[in-house]
């Protein structure tokens, strides 16, 4: 290459595609509470894809709880999620026996 010559540049556009997960990983499928904790820490699109595409009933239920709380701006659902996130695992039977019903 001589001084003053330009080197032709090859420019390729690389399009990065990010895909949302469609199901909850097996390590987080121990209970409904572990599914809620995992979904709570995911992007909103992941929660939507789990709700739409997962064949597991508890995955769908956990995603429904999160979506109802967020989209419906339902304070009772939000309080129930925080109770499950912060208060440790609560068996579903205990919630049914309590004063509030599961908000699905």
Segment-wise mean pLDDT, segments of 10 residues, the chain, 104 residues:
69 76 90 92 94 93 93 87 77 68 55
Q: Which of 73, 74, 71, 72 is nearest to 101 (CA)?
A: 74
In a domain, 59, yes or no: yes
Q: How many domains does the chain fold into?
A: 1
Residue range of the domain that includes 54: 26-97
In a domain, 3, yes or no: no
pTM of the model: 0.67
Q: Which residue has the tokens 């999160």?
A: 66
At residue 68, the pLDDT reads 92
Q: Which residues have CB under 8 Å from 93's CB, separation 6+?
A: none
In a domain, 78, yes or no: yes
């Amino acid at each position: 290459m001589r001084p003053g010559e330009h080197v032709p540049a090859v420019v390729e556009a690389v399009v990065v595609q990010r895909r949302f997960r469609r199901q909850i990983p097996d390590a987080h499928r121990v209970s409904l509470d572990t599914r809620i904790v995992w979904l709570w820490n995911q992007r909103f699109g992941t929660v939507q894809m789990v709700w739409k595409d997962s064949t597991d009933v508890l995955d769908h239920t956990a995603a429904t709880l999160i979506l109802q709380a967020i989209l419906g701006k339902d304070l009772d659902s939000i309080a129930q999620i925080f109770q499950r996130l912060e208060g440790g695992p609560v068996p579903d039977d205990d919630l049914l026996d309590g004063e509030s019903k599961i908000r699905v």
